Amino acid sequence: MVSFSGDVGKSTLTNRFMVEQRWVGAFSAANLTHEDTWNYMNRVRYMARLQTPWFNNIYGVIYDEIFIGFGENVGENVFDQNRVGLLIGCKINNTLNLEAGYLNQIVQLGRKVNGSNVFQYNNGFIVNTVFRFDLKKS
């Protein structure tokens, strides 16, 4: 993971890049109720996050994170998913922030149905707990 931040006026813009290697469960037959095989998958993630102070220790956040699959097992979902969030946060102290808000998620499934890609659309509530630890020696 690589993350870097910079100020945009009073706001902070954070860019985060991640590379993931995962074993994803799969079904070898339609009548199974549990995954019986595992596929090795790769994907990259990019998130842009804008955090804006409102008053005292309260702030607002908007972010967009896109997931792109790559490698030999990517199948139908090179575009894996996209997440957009709108959050309200509170800085409790120098170590702890709490955030909550709305999450919209679009997921492309890794197979076609009747010759067409299948997408799942999810809306939900998200809660984040952010810890910051200073590991530098004083």
pLDDT (tens digit, 9 = 90+) per residue, 68-122? 999 887 776 688 899 999 999 999 999 999 999 999 999 987 767 788 888 999 9
Confidence (pTM):
0.83
Residues facing 105 on adjacent strands: 83, 122
Mean residue pLDDT across the chain: 91
Q: What number is the average pLDDT over the span 45-54?
A: 98
Q: Measured between alpha carbons, how far is 67 from 41 in angstroms, rounded to an integer?
A: 12
> Is a pLDDT exceeding 70 seen at residue 133?
yes
Q: What is the pLDDT of residue 138?
A: 65
Q: What is the pLDDT of residue 37?
A: 87
> Is a pLDDT exceeding 80 seen at residue 14?
yes
For 96, 108, 130, 131, 134, the CA distances from 137, given in Å and listed in that order, are 20, 45, 22, 18, 8
Residues in the chain: 138
Q: What is the pLDDT of residue 77?
A: 67
- Residue pair 84/108 in contact by the 8 Å Cβ criterion: no
Q: What is the pLDDT of residue 84?
A: 98
What percent of the residues of the chain are helix, what percent strand, and what percent coil, each to the nearest 5?
A: 0, 75, 25
> Is a pLDDT exceeding 90 seen at residue 41?
no
- Residue pair 119/108 in contact by the 8 Å Cβ criterion: yes
Q: Measured between alpha carbons, how far is 87 from 97 in angstroms, rounded to an integer?
A: 12
